[in-house]
Chain A
Amino acid sequence: MKRLVPLTIAIVAGFTLIIAYFFPIAQQWSDNVQEWFKILAVGAMVLGGGNLIKLHLKKVSAKRKGWGYSMVTIVCFFGVLIVGFLKVGTPPNTNYPDYVWSGYYLQEGSGVWWIYLHMIVPLTSMMFAMLAFYVATAAFRAFRAKNIEATLLLVTAGIVLLGRTYAGVWLFDAWLPESMLWLRFDNLTEWIMNAPNTAGNRAIMIGIALGTVATSLRILLGVDRSYLGQD
């Protein structure tokens, strides 16, 4: 039963969605399955949150390496959860002023809005901005013309890097004859993206799609049961 029930659910849901795609008459079944997905997704979110807390609490109680970071995670998790659930500082919705909790949780002035503006925005922006420094050091340390493939990659990267700026135009405009303007880095970048990149990516995508179809069929027919985990 432990394996049969989830297996049956997966098979029924999967085939319902496939049938609904080809036969519009079965659209309502597909809508029902997707409603169930939404309900289960909420349950999964609770399970995920519970699991996160369990793991970090274990780490803190055992005082394993980095337990301080786990403590920060737990405090932040419950902090945001409480502020969000209680809608701390959130004014009521202007359409329903008599209902205290009717306001939008991210409304300007609310607690979650403050956390968002003063913590999430600067932290996530900082993480993204750090990439620039990593990329710059990686460019110096790792981009080496060691063989033909690496040289091709290097030349392509150089053209695209300059082609995505005004340098791609400015370097050539003064001396390149009009008949050779296709050699300008911005035009070469466009060609690289449209021809070799598109061809390569299409081949990869077709391969992935065929693999996905094969794997999906294995799951739907109950041949592949690895997603059910170990007994």
Chain B
Amino acid sequence: MLLSVAIPILMKVSFPEEVSPQTRMVFDVIENLPDGSNVLLSYDFDPASEGELLPMAQAFTRHCCAKGHKQYYMTLWPLGSPMVDKSLDTIRSEYPDMIYGEDFVKFDYKAGGEVVIRVIGTDLRAMFPLDSSGVSLDELPMTKNIKNLQDMDVIVNVSAGDPGTKQWVQFASTPYSLTTVSGCTGVQAPQMYPYIPEQLAGVLGAIKAAAEYEQAIAEKYPEIASNPSAQEAKRRMGPQLIAHSLMVGLILLGNWIFFVSRKRGEA
């Protein structure tokens, strides 16, 4: 398993990606918004899921930047804040024209999970009177007119568990009819499909969907395609192919041994 993951990484093996209908749905939600729309991005994951979810989160960030959307970042996980910082670093390094407080803002982690969502659903300042750098929301151009979640055009949730997409569906998307898309781990994805298309406008499941999303962005925005940092998910599809093939091989081998030993036992 170690070699099946390490060799493709070291040899930089990559494969072409086709954008699936599910990924296209998520891409279209962000793409079809008028430029400069308000997008809330909640990064509900921590370093344990960084390998699987950060490429997806970064793809959302780059897509929002390409469209000039106003991005409001937050997290419901205690260790999610540094994940958000990585997206802010991407904006600062790749989109130097975007200004903090005018084009993107970060709210710090607040404990409470679904209660945080419920509170900001009616009053953003009750939970976040200040941004993460201690500035009042009334002093920031992009937040001074924002009252609550209902002022957002889209919610993007990148989730590794609870609190995460399920809570956003229950306490934001459903009661306020807010368009919500989710990017989640492979383990979570099957549980999110039942919410499509009413409560969730689309789901990106794991690194495969992230690679497809990168492909969709690359097709629309060739300038992003030439950025190697914007191909992180695609780069991980090489190890995924070899590791999955190995697992299928192990399953077949295990079953072959099982049937042979059962036959010998019967004989």
Contact = CB atoms under 8 A, between A and B. Distances in A.
B partners with A: yes
Interface of A: 21, 27, 30-31, 34-35, 37-38, 41-42, 45, 93-96, 102, 104, 106, 116, 120-121, 124-125, 127-129, 132-133, 135-136, 139-141, 143-145, 154, 157-158, 161-162, 164-167, 169-170, 186, 190, 193-194, 197-198, 201-202, 205
A164 B248 contact: no
Contacts of B48: 124-125, 127-128
29 contacts: A34-B115, A38-B115, A41-B111, A41-B112, A95-B133, A95-B134, A96-B134, A104-B134, A116-B79, A124-B79, A125-B50, A136-B246, A136-B250, A139-B247, A144-B258, A161-B248, A162-B244, A162-B245, A164-B208, A165-B240, A166-B17, A167-B241, A186-B20, A193-B190, A193-B193, A197-B193, A198-B193, A201-B191, A202-B194
A31 B126 contact: yes
Given A127-B48, A139-B250, 7 more contacts: A121-B50, A136-B246, A136-B250, A144-B254, A144-B255, A164-B240, A165-B245
A139 B251 contact: yes
A202 to B, nearest CB: 4
B23 to A, nearest CB: 10
B253 interface: yes
B225 interface: no
Interface stretch (B66-74, B90-98, B116-124): B116-124
B141 interface: no
Nearest to A44: B111
Nearest to B17: A166
Contact of A93 (B1, B15, B133, B255): B133
Nearest to A159: B248
B243 A132 contact: yes
A145 B16 contact: no
B255 A166 contact: no
Interface residues of B, number: 58
B47 A125 contact: yes
A169 B248 contact: no
B212 to A, nearest CB: 10
A167 B244 contact: yes
Q: Is the interface of A mostly helix, strand, loop or mixed?
A: helix
B237 interface: yes
B179 interface: no
A165 B20 contact: no
Contacts of B167: none
B58 interface: no
A143 B259 CA distance: 12
B182 to A, nearest CB: 14
Interface in B10-52: 15-18, 20-22, 46-51
A142 to B, nearest CB: 8
The 10 tightest CB contacts between A and B, nearest first, are A166-B15, A124-B48, A165-B241, A140-B250, A121-B47, A202-B194, A128-B48, A140-B254, A161-B244, A136-B1
